[in-house]
Amino acid sequence: MVSVKIMLFATLRSKYKTRELVVNCDGTLPNMIENASKILGQEFVDDVYDKKQGKVREDMIIMVNGRNIKDLEGEITLKDNDVIAIFPPLAGG
């Protein structure tokens, strides 16, 4: 098991009234999301995970230590103290 910090932003932060939380998981993203939902509520899974596709929702922006998971090659394995930032779709300029 590893311990990681999850940070929520924008509408996710206001919805769950949580800025950050620490969760233990087996180092995979699905398990991290599952365990986070035990604290935040089951709805959190639907907010960030596409069960049909069996992967993180395409429109969510999830960054591990500042790198978008879409830019990371290979299977993602989380390590102790990793920081996972989760943003809903957003933009500005």
Return the residue of 17, 52, 53, 71 that touches another protein, per CB under 8 A. Answer: 71
For residues 93 and 83, give the distance between their C-alpha atoms in angstroms, rounded to a whole number: 25
Kindly write out the interface string for residues 16-55 of this chain, putting x where it contacts another protein by CB under 8 A and - elsewhere: ----------------------------------------
Nearest approach, Cβ of 49 to another protein (angstroms)? 16
Which one-letter amino acid corresponds to residue 43? Answer: E
DSSP state of 50: E
- CB nearer to another protein: pick between 55 and 70: 70
Inter-residue contact 4 to 86 (CB < 8 Å): no
3-state secondary structure of 4: strand
For residues 45 and 55, give the distance between their C-alpha atoms in angstroms, rounded to a whole number: 11
Of the candidate spans 29-37, 40-48, 67-75, the one that interacts with another protein by CB under 8 A turns out to be 67-75
Interface size with another protein, residues (CB under 8 A): 23
